[in-house]
Amino acid sequence: MKNNLILIVICFCFNEIANADSDDVRISTIVDNCKSCHSEKYEGNQYIKSLKELKKIQFIEKMNNYKTSKQNTVMKRITSVLSKKDILDIADYIYEKN
């Protein structure tokens, strides 16, 4: 019985670690896609605004507004598949890791 309990604990811990790693990979993949329009350093261009000009909280608000928007825009289509946690994780990645 004790061995079974140890095995369950090890499996649970391994699963949690694996899930954390996959979330990091998933978020970094999403952010890499952001770079295709907002540029490698998120500076934007003459048509698309720079993400660097926004504070982290402004970014989160804008992403949530795009998500709930009724307009048919690229950002609406992108954010429609993101959860609120995804948006927070993306903000953390962009504003804390760069």
- Note if the pTM is more than 0.85: no
Q: What is the pLDDT of residues 28-46, one digit of tens each?
A: 999 999 999 999 999 999 8
Q: What is the pLDDT of residues 36-94, one digit of tens each?
A: 999 999 999 988 989 989 999 999 999 999 999 999 999 999 999 999 999 999 999 99
Query: Residues 6 or more apart from 93 whose CB is under 8 A from it?
Result: 27, 28, 31
Asked whether the predicted pLDDT for residue 16 surpasses 70, the reply is no
Domains of the chain, earliest start first: 2-96 (1.10.760.10)
CA distance 25 to 27: 6
DSSP string for residues in 46-64? SSS--STTS-HHHHHHHHH
